[in-house]
Amino acid sequence: MEMSGFWEGREPCWVILGCSEYVYTKCPAYLNQEMPCWEIAYTQCEILTSIRSECKNCKVHNLYNSPGVQRPSRLDS
């Protein structure tokens, strides 16, 4: 799958976190690349490690959710 949306031109969360292909191909963050992982419900991080409540402590969140990081506009269908 080619990168699109939020992850276009960025290292995706499943690579940064070292998720296996078995895990990331079932993850909503991979399947819905137009949004960052911390804005998507029921990611594999949330399901497998209960990280949802700790997004602010996640290295992916800190890398891409810091001041000065530009997000692409969301396209409405």
- What's the pLDDT tens digit per position in 10-50? 999 999 988 899 989 999 999 999 999 888 887 887 777 66
Does residue 11 or residue 55 have the better pLDDT? 11
- Of 74 and 8, the structure prediction assigns the larger pLDDT to 8
- CA dist 21 to 33, 36, 44, 46, Å? 16, 19, 12, 17
Q: Are 14 and 36 in contact (CB under 8 A)?
A: no
What's the pLDDT score for residue 63?
87
User: Residue 72: pLDDT band by 50, 70, 90 thresholds?
Assistant: very low
Structure tokens at 26: 């079932």
